[in-house]
């Protein structure tokens, strides 16, 4: 079973990087069950979903899906989409933040381009008091992403980023970020990484996530615990109780469509729960990474294929 899971994980992570399949998926639409975990192809389609989630008491972070951006023009279009999204969050009074990926804004093209795009987005976000979180991508981009985060955080306090517990470097990164009073989302990590940079064993990744959660909370920084894992959630609940950490200092985050009952239970217990809601035409890479994480997701994905 463990071997089977490892094979399917590697298989889906491999597929997540396949540009040909990405193009195919875009062309033929989200006929593969992606609509269960993606909020629609446009932000307008996602608005009623966000309103419903807010009505239930859940807060949201939206992410305009997009990877493999390799032209300046496309990166500027992506920045424009983020800005329109911020404006619509404000005009519809949605309880929502925005998550984004630096590669979609030109990280792989030039530092100037990504900074220019980020400044435009953050100025608009500041105007409407919308928080922006920079998602963390694969380890080759981690250093550059954190440098950009630190550079921008000085001028834009409503800026968060992500630290992944599977990376060896993350403990030091947390120390380094501490001076910036960071808003951090702590996760296990979703990309295929080598043993040179990441813990190969799940137990070590889980232990390190607990360690990072404790450290960031005790440092007094706002912490988003982004996991569907009962063990991590129970650990956090116990920790905040022991150290009298108020509920305003942290939140739980889960992906849209995952563990809906648990989201409601946490809400009932008085915790803040934020749902990560992706939208856009570029759902393919995101969808494949979710399949890699949890082969059980394959069941509803296939159901999606056959029910259309
Ligand atoms: C809000 C959010 C934002 C994220 N942002 C990033 C990011 O910027 N960069 C990045 O690399 N990764 C990101 N991730 C993904 C993250 O790194 C993990 O890959 C992903 O969350 C899977 O790890 P896990 O802690 O949820 O549990 P896992 O380690 O995958 O699973 C542990 C256990 O939890 C339970 N479980 C997990 N999922 C489910 C489910 N769907 N239904 C029922 N039980 C389940 C099962 O018992 C499972 O054995 C994000 C995740 C979330 C929730």
Domains and CATH numbers, the chain: 39-282 (3.20.20.220)
Q: Please give the backbone phi and psi of residue 253, each rounded to the nearest 5 degrees, phi first.
A: -130, 140
Cα gap 68→132, rounded to integer Å:
21
- How far, in Å, from the CA of 203 to the mean position of ligand 1? 14
* 266-291 per-position pLDDT tens digit: 999 999 999 999 998 877 777 777 77
Segment 33-50 shows an average pLDDT of 87
- Looking at the predicted structure, is the pLDDT value of residue 57 above 90? yes
Q: How far is Cα of residue 16 from the mean position of the Cα atoms in its chain? A: 16
| Active site (annotated) includes residue 135 | yes
Residues 79/121, Cβ–Cβ less than 8 Å: yes
Atom of ligand 1 nearest to the CA of 135: 8
Query: What is the distance in angstroms between the CA of the first residue and the CA of the last residue of the chain?
Result: 30
Segment 34-51 shows an average pLDDT of 89
- How far, in Å, from the CA of 188 to the mean position of ligand 1? 7
Label residue 193 by pLDDT band (50, 70, 90).
Answer: very high
- According to the model, what pLDDT value does residue 48 have? 97
- How far, in Å, from the CA of 228 to the mean position of ligand 1? 5
Higher pLDDT, residue 112 or 301: 112
Binding residues for FAD: 136, 164, 188-190, 202, 227-228
Residues with CB under 6 A from ligand 1: 135-136, 162, 164, 185, 187-191, 226-229, 232, 253-255, 258-259, 276, 293-294
| Cα dihedral sign, 60-66-72-76 | negative
Residues 126/156, Cβ–Cβ less than 8 Å: yes
Segment 9-34 shows an average pLDDT of 64
Please tell me which residue in 63, 185, 206, 274 is annotated as part of the active site.
185
- Looking at the predicted structure, is the pLDDT value of residue 307 above 80? no
Cα gap 233→238, rounded to integer Å:
9
- Looking at the predicted structure, is the pLDDT value of residue 34 above 60? yes
| Active site (annotated) includes residue 185 | yes
């Amino acid at each position: 079973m463990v071997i089977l899971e490892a094979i399917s994980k590697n298989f889906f992570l491999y597929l997540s990087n396949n540009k040909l399949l990405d193009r195919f998926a875009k062309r033929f639409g989200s006929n593969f069950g992606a609509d269960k975990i993606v909020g629609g192809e446009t932000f307008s389609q996602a608005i009623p979903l966000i309103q419903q989630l807010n009505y239930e008491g859940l807060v949201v972070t939206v992410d305009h899906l997009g990877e493999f951006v390799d032209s300046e023009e496309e990166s500027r279009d992506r920045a424009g989409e983020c800005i329109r999204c911020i404006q619509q969050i404000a005009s519809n009074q949605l309880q929502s933040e925005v998550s984004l990926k630096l590669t979609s804004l030109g990280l792989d093209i030039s530092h100037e381009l990504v900074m220019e795009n980020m400044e435009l987005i953050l100025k608009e976000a500041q105007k409407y008091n919308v928080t922006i979180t920079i998602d963390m991508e694969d380890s080759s981009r981690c250093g550059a992403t954190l440098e950009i985060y630190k550079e921008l955080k000085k001028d834009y306090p409503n800026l968060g980023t992500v630290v992944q517990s599977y990376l060896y470097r993350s403990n030091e990164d947390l120390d380094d970020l501490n001076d910036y009073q960071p808003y951090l989302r702590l996760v296990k990590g979703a990309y295929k990484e080598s043993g040179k940079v990441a813990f190969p064993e799940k137990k070590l990744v889980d232990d390190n996530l607990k360690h990072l959660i404790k450290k960031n909370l005790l440092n007094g920084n706002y912490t988003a615990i982004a996991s569907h894992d009962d063990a991590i959630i129970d650990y956090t609940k116990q920790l905040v109780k022991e150290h009298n950490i108020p509920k305003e200092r942290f939140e739980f985050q889960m992906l849209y469509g995952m563990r809906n009952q648990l989201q409601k239970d946490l809400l009932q217990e008085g915790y803040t729960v934020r749902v990560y809601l992706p939208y856009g035409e570029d759902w393919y890479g995101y969808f494949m990474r979710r399949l890699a994480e949890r082969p059980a997701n394959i069941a509803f994905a296939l159901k999606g294929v056959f029910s259309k």
